[in-house]
């Protein structure tokens, strides 16, 4: 049933997921199939349907429990809490109270008397102006009936934004290793060497032979020479210093981002009526 119809009762049932509803308010169907638990966390059943008022806010929840075949237990939505991340709807009532709550077929249209019966059972007053904690994701519209033909649909459009960061990674390295090399050094040096020079000279006239005449004699004359003596000394000739220097380079980074847009397709009245049939 269209949500703009049957304004006498003020409440109309939202169909289960898969049925096309008025744009925007059909988003309530995403809660269909959520697990429903009581105030202590015990599972009661699953959400089968929703009844909403003319503003699009859910007024009652239809919980399929399996206690009565074909029936759906009705709970006011103003006190329900939803955790969309876990898909769980928590009700502030014990399981026994919901089990004895009014139960109707899922396709029933609630009238004023049925509405009051439900509120009285749960000992709640009718507070249509209160926004339920059951978050529909829709903006609360201004109170009061809307002029016909002024219904508004809002579609949020998102886009991705690229943020470039930096991090340090290892990009190779330099190893310094000290090694020992051996090479031959050739250096000239002058060495002195002694030699004996034997000369024969004539004797002086009138010199007579001494007592050593005709006696054998052995004379030893030592000879000396210089030889090269090598000594090595180590000293620091130079030193090698290594340090890091940061260079900056420009790099172009490319990344794909997604951006939402909306396409408008206009449908002629004849085609619209044909699709409805």
Q: What φ, ψ does residue 165 adopt, rounded to 5°?
A: -115, 180
Q: How confident is residue 142, by pLDDT bands cut at 50, 70 and 90?
A: very low
What pLDDT is stored for residue 23 in this prediction? 35
Q: Is the pLDDT of residue 13 over 80?
A: no
Taking the C-alpha atoms of residue 185 and residue 159, their distance in angstroms, rounded to an integer, is 77
Banded pLDDT at 191 (limits 50, 70, 90): very high
pTM: 0.39
Instruction: Catalogue all structural domains in the chain, each as residue range(s) with its CATH number.
Output: 1-135 (3.90.50.10)
159, two tokens? 């886009």
Cβ-contact 94, 73 below 8 angstroms: no
Q: What is the pLDDT of residues 46-64, one digit of tens each?
A: 888 887 655 556 688 888 8
Q: Among 58-67, 81-90, 144-153, 258-267, name the one with the lowest average pLDDT.
A: 144-153
pLDDT at position 107 over 70: yes
pLDDT band at 148 (very low <50, low <70, confident <90, very high): low
Sign of dihedral through CA atoms 38, 39, 42, 43? positive
């Amino acid at each position: 049933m269209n949500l703009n119809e049957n304004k006498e009762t003020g409440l109309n049932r939202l169909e289960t997921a898969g049925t096309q509803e008025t744009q925007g308010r059909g988003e309530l169907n995403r809660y269909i199939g959520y697990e429903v638990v009581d105030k202590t966390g015990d599972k009661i059943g699953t959400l089968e349907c929703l009844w909403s008022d003319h503003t699009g806010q859910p007024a009652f929840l239809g919980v399929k429990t399996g206690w009565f075949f074909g029936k759906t237990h009705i709970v006011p939505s103003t006190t329900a809490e939803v955790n969309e991340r876990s898909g769980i709807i928590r009700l502030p009532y014990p399981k026994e109270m919901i089990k004895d709550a009014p139960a109707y077929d899922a396709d029933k249209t609630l009238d004023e008397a049925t509405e009051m019966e439900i509120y009285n059972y749960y000992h709640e007053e009718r507070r249509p102006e209160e926004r339920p904690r059951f978050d529909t994701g829709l903006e609360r519209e201004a109170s009061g009936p809307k002029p016909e033909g002024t219904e508004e649909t809002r579609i949020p459009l998102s886009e991705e934004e690229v943020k470039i960061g930096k991090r340090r990674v290892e990009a190779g390295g330099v190893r310094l290793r000290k090694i020992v090399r051996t090479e031959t050094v050739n250096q000239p040096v002058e060495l002195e060497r002694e030699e004996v020079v034997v000369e024969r000279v004539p004797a002086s006239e009138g010199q007579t032979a001494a007592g050593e005449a005709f006696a054998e004699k052995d004379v030893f004359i030592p000879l000396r020479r210089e030889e090269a003596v090598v000594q090595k000394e180590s000293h620091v000739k130079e030193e090698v210093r290594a340090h890091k220097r940061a260079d900056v380079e420009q790099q172009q980074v490319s990344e794909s981002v997604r951006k939402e847009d909306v396409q408008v397709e206009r449908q002629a009245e004849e085609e619209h009526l044909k699709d409805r049939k």
